[in-house]
Structure 1
Amino acid sequence: MPASPSTARAINDRLALRLLQQEGPLTAGQLKQLTGLSRPTVADLVERLSDAGLITVVGEAGEQRRGPNAKLYGIVADRARLAALDVRTESVSVVVADLVGRVLAEASVPIGGETGTGPVVEQAVSLVERVAKEAEASGVPPRADVRAWGSLHTVGIGAPGLIDPATGELRDSSGLPAWHRRLVAALQERFPEAHVSVDNEANLAALAEQRDGTARDRDTFVLLWLSYGTGAAVVLDGALRRGASGGTGEIGFLPVPGTAGLPSATDCDGGFHSLAGSAAITELARRHGLGATPTGEEPPAAALVRSAVEQAAGRTAPVTGPASGAGAAADAPLPEARQAAPDPAEAAGAGLGGAGRFLDELADRLAVGVASVVAILDPGCVVLGGEVGRAGGEELAARVEERVRRMSPLVTEVRPSTLGGGAVLRGALLTARDRAQDDLFAPTDR
């Protein structure tokens, strides 16, 4: 049965809007070429979307031809304001953006370990309000029909932990502070008209790496999240996979060799987290006599890995002594991870000093987790994400890939993140933008 005229119009409108989202401003001629629609049909949809306040003329194509230049049409960016949050145990970061994702204001605050749940929640909510006000004063005034700053259209939140696939809520977990779950409800109460949603940090990082980062050419890959904690996100055939209980990618609980025991249902100590979490990497660096000073809010492990990569490449002199970062000296030494015998050629090329040995042992640890994922999913590509993955760069990724090649017959490319820890905030913003656009661009009988 052919579509009704109203359904056909809605389909054409959505197609044009999606193209404007993906490609940016386009002329009517470019829309005709990309959609395959007739010139009159494109003219009708441009008029319809303009009358609805969804698109507007944003410039001219600048083509050198007779007559006036073709008009460029773009999405009305100031139709809605969006907020994205990256919620960590130690900090909260916020950006406020317009409908096309242009950041208008951003800020972050550290969270003290002894701060109570109520004060932390109020601190985080107040930060969102302040950044929204700064966005309003950023020189990009909102349209007359845009709600005031106190009623953001959509708020996307990235946080560690399990997301209940039935409710979309952050599940209670003894390993996470209570304020994480309270924050979502507090934001919804403070911004009652906003669409507030939360997703796992690794899932959002994978979305960002696929859209804007190192996995742009992949529709199947696994992101291994390496930050303060560990996690993973699984993308198969272009779709993020969450599992029956929302726990796909909880690799921190993976039982692995080289730990003191086994993880439990409420504690990932003894699992892969014990080998690849920030505290474990910091202790490993200390045992190899390495030290480094973190910059900004990055995990101590990221600074150590970056310093080791630079030393292994001969770009800096060794930094020895206790590794910087909370808990570096207090943590008890971890049991040695089971290691493959070093390849003689590899050892000669790497010049196995303290930095080289540290990177090799870290690669041994990461390869255990990566090889386990590869054996089950065969994704063809694994991204080392988070601040640690980005700090390790090609140097660490190559080491991990070489070890996985020895451990598995399944060919797997290992890539470093290009977005690092910022992928969570980017992914939260992309998700908020998609949801806002889906709401605002919902087909109507126009």
Structure 2
Amino acid sequence: MPASPSTARAINDRVALQLLQQEGPLTAGQLKTRTGLSRPSVADLVERLQRSGLIQIVGESGAERRGPNARLYGIVADRAHLAALDIRTQSVSLIVADLLGTTLAEASMPIDGDVGTEPTVERVAALLERTVREGGAHRLHSVCVGMPGLIDPSTGELRNTTGLPRWHRQLVAALQERLPARIVLENETNLAGVAEQRAGAGRGHDTFVFLWLGDGVGAALFLDGRLRRGLSGGAGEIGFLPVPGTGGLPSATDCGGGFHSLGGATAVFALAEEQGIDARGILGITASEARGAAAAALVTEAIAAGRDGFLDALALRLALAAAAVVSIVDPGQLVLGGEMGLAGGMELALRVESQLAGLIPLPTQVRPGELGGTAVLRGALLTARDVAQEDLFGPGG
């Protein structure tokens, strides 16, 4: 059944808006070429989108034709403002941006675990409100919050996960009460995977596995172009994956004994010490204090010093977890993300690829992520933009 005129107009409008979002300002002639619409249809479309306040004239382009310059149309960047938060157990980072993704303001803050739940929630909410004001984001539309833990796909709420501070579970509700915006919660690894899919090493791959290597470990599964969360939101929780070499087994409430005990930052610190690297001397911290950035520094040091023993041992650990996922999903591509993935680069990725090839018969290309620890914020910003576009541009197909 053919679409009604109003439905066809809505589809055409969204296509044009997406082109302007992705490619930047375009003339009416360029929109005609890219959409395949007739000149009158494009003229109506442009007038309609201008009236709605979604696009505006941003300049002129006269290089492609004789006569008067052609008007360039672009998205009205301040039609909606966005915010993205990366919530860790010991810190918060956030970005405020416009609808085109241009950063207007950013901030970060350490979190003292002894402060208490309500004061911590208040500090984080106040930091976001202050940053929104500093960025002049008077049309805050969408806020995406990324944090560790299981996010229930049916409710969008953080499940009662052992090991996470209480303020994590109260933050979203507090933000929703205080801000005139839609608040979206998403798992941090999923957000990092989204960023790598759209703007990093996953570009051009509909199916791949993203392996987060930071303070802890996690995975994001992309099958046929879609992020797969699982029934309870736990797809990719590989920190609980039983693997050889941990000396124990994980439990439903503790990932110790699972892959976390081989690939987490603390475990990588201990591995470096076992391999003769003076991790304490290099970093000035103990294993219990190690975070993703510290583990990344050790990987960087090992590569620079030619510490093949450490790099091969680490690659084997990563390959053990990757083999379990790859043997089920067969993605063809594995992206090593987070701080360690970025620090290891191709040197670590190719070692993991070699180890993986010796464990399973499924050909899998292993590549380093391109965004490192910034991927969570990038993914949160992209997700907030998707929410705003869904509302402003109309539902996608």
- Indicate the TM-score class for this superposition, using the shorter chain for normalisation: over 0.9
Is 1:268 the counterpart of 2:258 in the alignment?
no
Q: Cα–Cα, structure 1 residues 395 and 228, in superposed 2: closer, same or farther, change >3 Å?
A: same
Is 1:170 the counterpart of 2:158 in the alignment?
yes
For 1:259-338, what aligned pairs fall within 5 Å after superposition? 259-290=246-277, 291=279, 292-293=282-283, 299-312=293-306
Q: Tell me if the contact between 1:209 and 1:419 (Cα under 8 Å) persists in the aligned partners.
A: yes
**Aligned equivalents of 2:120, 2:335: Cα separation in 1:** 33
Is 1:391 the counterpart of 2:385 in the alignment?
no
Match of 1:436 in 2: 388
Q: Tell me if the contact between 1:294 and 1:302 (Cα under 8 Å) persists in the aligned partners.
A: no
Match of 1:104 in 2: 104
For 1:109-258, what aligned pairs fall within 5 Å after superposition? 109-136=109-136, 147=139, 152-191=140-179, 193-258=180-245
**Aligned equivalents of 1:62, 1:432: Cα separation in 2:** 35
Query: Matched residue of 2:212: which SS?
Result: strand
Is 1:400 the counterpart of 2:387 in the alignment?
no
Residue by residue over 1:352-389, the C-alpha shift from the partner in whole angstroms, topping out at 9 and shown as x without a partner, is xxx21111110010000111111000000000010111
Superposition CA RMSD, Å: 1.5
CA drift of 1:394 comes to: 0.6
Residue by residue over 1:276-321, the C-alpha shift from the partner in whole angstroms, topping out at 9 and shown as x without a partner, is 00000011112223233399x8531111111111222xxxxxxxxx
**Aligned equivalents of 1:43, 1:288: Cα separation in 2:** 68
Where do 4+ consecutive residues of structure 1 move more than 4 Å?
none
**Could you say which structure has the higher helix fraction?**
2
CA drift of 1:64 comes to: 5.0
Corresponding letter in the other structure for 2:145: I
Q: Tell me if the contact between 1:294 and 1:303 (Cα under 8 Å) persists in the aligned partners.
A: no
Q: Cα–Cα, structure 1 residues 294 and 394, in superposed 2: closer, same or farther, change >3 Å?
A: farther
Q: What is the TM-score normalised by the length of structure 2?
A: 0.95
Match of 1:45 in 2: 45
Match of 2:288 in 1: none
Counterpart among 292, 313, 319 of residue 367 in structure 1? 319
**Aligned equivalents of 1:238, 1:279: Cα separation in 2:** 33
Corresponding letter in the other structure for 1:277: G
For 1:2-151, what aligned pairs fall within 5 Å after superposition? 2-136=2-136, 147=139
Corresponding letter in the other structure for 1:308: A
Corresponding letter in the other structure for 1:293: L
Q: Cα–Cα, structure 1 residues 373 and 298, in superposed 2: closer, same or farther, change >3 Å?
A: closer
List runs of 5+ in structure 1 lacking aligned partners: 137-141, 313-354
List runs of 5+ in structure 2 lacking aligned partners: 286-290
Q: Cα–Cα, structure 1 residues 62 and 422, in superposed 2: closer, same or farther, change >3 Å?
A: farther
Q: Tell me if the contact between 1:86 and 1:157 (Cα under 8 Å) persists in the aligned partners.
A: yes
**Aligned equivalents of 2:131, 2:352: Cα separation in 1:** 40
**Aligned equivalents of 2:224, 2:394: Cα separation in 1:** 26
Residue by residue over 1:83-111, the C-alpha shift from the partner in whole angstroms, topping out at 9 and shown as x without a partner, is 10000111100100001110000010011
CA drift of 1:81 comes to: 1.3
Residue by residue over 1:207-243, the C-alpha shift from the partner in whole angstroms, topping out at 9 and shown as x without a partner, is 1001111111211100001000110000001000011
Tell me the number of residue pairs that the alignment of Structure 1 and Structure 2 aligns.
387
**Aligned equivalents of 2:331, 2:109: Cα separation in 1:** 37
**Aligned equivalents of 1:175, 1:194: Cα separation in 2:** 29
Q: Tell me if the contact between 2:61 and 2:69 (Cα under 8 Å) persists in the aligned partners.
A: yes
**Aligned equivalents of 2:370, 2:39: Cα separation in 1:** 41
Q: Tell me if the contact between 2:213 and 2:292 (Cα under 8 Å) persists in the aligned partners.
A: no
**Aligned equivalents of 2:347, 2:197: Cα separation in 1:** 22
CA drift of 1:24 comes to: 1.7
Match of 1:337 in 2: none
Q: Cα–Cα, structure 1 residues 273 and 62, in superposed 2: closer, same or farther, change >3 Å?
A: farther
Q: What is the TM-score normalised by the length of structure 1?
A: 0.84
Query: Matched residue of 2:193: which SS?
Result: helix
